[in-house]
Structures are given as structure tokens and as C-alpha cells.
Structure 1
Amino acid sequence: MTRRIGITNQKGGVAKTTDTINVAGALAAQGESVLAIDMDPQGYLTHRLGYEDAYASDPPSLYDALESPNEYDVADLVVHHEEFDLLPANIDMFRLEQDLIASGMRPRMRLPLLLEGVDEWDVILIDAPPSLGPLNDNVVLATEELLVPVEADDSSQLALNHLLRQLDTLEDNYSTTIDIAGVIVSNVSYPLDNEQEAAIEWYDERFEGHVPVWVVRTRAAIKRAMKEGGSVFADNAEEVDMTDVFAEIATEVADG
């Protein structure tokens, strides 16, 4: 079965898109076929991978498929990146988010309907928007399994608690179970200051015995790989010590 993983945090600037690209790249490097889906109306994943034209393209797009999920085949909307496949975001998704907000609870099932029966890939990674709105809920309900990027600071701890409460609400309203597959503490600089050290300890204690917590250090090589439109596992990427961390995350994702 295709495994679906949502990558979500309503707080911006926590390296959500960076983690999506590098986990996808790690999975592909391990021989998995991967589809990355950009559910953020801002289209950061789409732009980072070099598909600006797809973001502004005419219909059909992911926007249209989410408007009428029974009328579109996901494979027809996918573009092919050198490392993995991408279902790009579209600028019209800004309008969709407002429509869903006004439409109640059932529109939160658009993405689950669209992905129903999709099994062409080993793993589907979905980059969620930085909000707790209906598009993020669609990601959560379509995957029911999440990687949560955070930063080593107090505000990320608060945001994580808000996310966990939202997951409880979705579980109650939709009679489902939503699991966290792991927490990725991103943009960590060493030597640690007191705030970073305390935050990492908090994540370790909060999730000890339940899910893994990975630490991704700030590295210029990661940023340079993104500027080149790929992951640190791309053929032209330079060596960097964080590949081991992303490979470990990918193994966790692939093994389930």
C-alpha cells in the first residue's frame, strides 16, 4: 500500500518545505517511488523545485481537482522532477481556501477523496500550508500520519500544542486516529544557546517512548541544494553531514 505522510505545522518558518524536499529526496535515494504534493496556496514547494510555470498554469490543476475530486486523476496532474514526482500547487488555491472556510466540515474531505485508490507511488508526502484551516485539515485527514517540523524555541512549542489540540478535534469529528510519525527540530545552530537546549530537551521529554525526535542542524549546503531545485541527495548536491538524519527519517517513513 502507498504510505501517505503529511508534513505540517501551522507556524511558518520551521523548514517545512525544506524537510519535505529532503525527506522525499532521501526516500528516492533509497529506491522508493515518491510523490510530493504541494497543498500550500503560496506554492513554496512548487517554486523551490523550479515549477513556477505550473503554479500559474491554466486548468486543470490541483485547484480544479480539489474543487471536483471525483472528476480528476492525480497522475494526469503530476510533473516529473529528476528525484521524485510533484503535484504542484496553483495560485487559484487561495480562492479555494476561502470557499472551504465558508462550506463547513465536509469540504475537509476533498483531498482524501482525490487520493482514494491512488497507489502508483510507494510514498506520498504532502506539504501542508502554515495554518490550521481547512486545507491543512484536508492534509491531516488524507494521511492520518504526520511529520511535524518545529524549531528549538518557545513559540514552536506553543504552536505544537495548538496543533495537537486541533488533531484531537479532527479525531473526534471524523472518528479517526491521527498519528505523529516523528518531530523534526530544524534550523538548529551549535553551540546551543539556553533557549535551544531547553526546547530540544522539552521535545525529547514530550515524545519520549512515543515517536522519534530528529535534530537537523543549519547547513549552507542544504540551502544551496534548495537553490538548485533539489534535495541534498540530488546528483549535483554537495556532501553534507545532515544526509544521515534525512536518511534516518526516510527509513522510518518507508518502514512504517
Structure 2
Amino acid sequence: GDTIRRHIFVQVATSVKAIAAGSYFSLALKNDGVLYGTGWNGFGQLGTGDNTRRIGFVPVSGDVKAIAVGYFHSFALKSNNTLWVAGYNKSGMLGLGDNTDRFSFVQAASTVKAMAGGMAHSIFFKSDGTLWVTGDNWAGQLGTGDGRNLNRFEKKIGLRSYKNNLYVCADLNLGPEAPLYSNRDALGLWETFGLIDLGNNRVALRSYATGLYVCAENAGASRAVANRSAIGAWETFRLYTSASGVVAFKFELNNKYLRFDSFIPEQALPGPGVYFYIINAW
């Protein structure tokens, strides 16, 4: 409860099962699942709902089973495996789709197993073993291979058509807007996408060829293209997963599935013509 330097360890809490320390702030998780924070709080990294410094541990969240921190941002993994984040977000390291700091913990992902933070980036992996990343990427710390910064958690994938067994390509040879075609037999930069989990089984796709989001052009009346700088209704799909593990993308606005040949959301029911394999591209 003070700011006096200590040269030996002193006891400040009991029943603690996990700890994490960032830049001038600390988190402690107790056995009962209550998360406590103390220290500098200029970006809201303690999750107290403000940016006021604390000089003693205060409770900030409950039902927490694991914690981690970055330089000025924090993670709390809840007992239901949802990931909650707070703090500095200038580089998008909270993965919320913007660059606004958060003074309280907000949910960023689900089915998370473990997480870690760097100075300005964040990573986690899910219970299915898939790796997801966001934040600053100037040194390649996200591992995506394209050097672009991200402000939403995404995993690096390829898509292969169930129908013709060819990879989906954002084909800049066929137009400056990078229209999608299932026409490649190998996975390269133009055939690589970032899959963004928007929650509630809603997803978006970001092309590594353009760095832009896939859009169901003309509200789903024209071939999908990878040319949008932000995610809106035209860039949002429902992910349908079949019993055999193949997936289909249903356009939010017309509730129809994206076909492998036209890349127009025009098929009413799932079937071979709309199924794709998701390929891990890390």
C-alpha cells in the first residue's frame, strides 16, 4: 500500500496460484478465481475501469483460471475458456478490430487454451491447436510472413475447394480488385488468407495478396473480391462446418452460400459446390 522500494521480498498476499508482471504493473490470481492488480494503470491495463494507479492489489475480475500480460496490456482466461483483454491497444494488440485502449476487461475470443503478450502484439492458441495472432508486426513477430500489422486475431489459412480440389486464389492477374477463383494447385501468397473470428460463428477473410478483406461484391450479386479495408456487412460470413469437417461460407445479408465456381453467394443449401477444406498455412 505504498511506493517505498524494497530490497528483499515481503509478503503482500496469500492463496495466490498465478502471477504476471508487465511494465510497472502486476497481476495476481488467487485460488478462488479472483484476479487482482496493482501498479501503473495509464492505459487501463489493470482492468479497473479507469486509468488510476493502484499502490496495493485490488480485485478486478472473477472466474479467472489463467493470466498473462504484455508490456502495457493484460489477458484473463475465464473458466469457460473465453479470453478477456484490457489495456494499451495502439497497435491492435487487444484484437478487437480497433486501436482504442480498454480500461475494463472485454471478451476477445473463445475456446482459448493459452495466451501470451509481447511489447505490442498478442498470440493465443485454441483448444483445437490453432494459433491466432494480432498487433504490431514490424519485426515479423506475428509469423504471418507478410509483415502487415493486425488489429483482430486471425489464423493463417489456405482454402481448397471440395469440388475441384484446387486452392482459392485472390487472383490479381484477373483484375486489380483481386477476384476469388478456385484455380491453383499450390499454396502461395495469393492463395493465403487470414481467417478472423468475429464471434457467434461469424468470420471474415483477409487476403495476403492484397492485405484487404474479402467482400461479397454488390451485396452478394457479383463475384467476391479481396479489396476492402474494413469489415462490414458485405465482408461478414457465417461459417458452416459439416460433420466431415469441411466448411462453407454463408453470406450474412442473403443467407446463401458462396460457390466454388462463381464465388457468388447464390446457393441456398450446403453441398459439394460450396464446401472448402481449411488448410493450416503457418
TM-score between the two structures when normalised by the length of structure 1 = 0.28
Higher RCO (Cα < 8 Å, 6 or more apart): 1
Higher helix residue share: 1
TM-score between the two structures when normalised by the length of structure 2 = 0.26
Larger Rg: 2
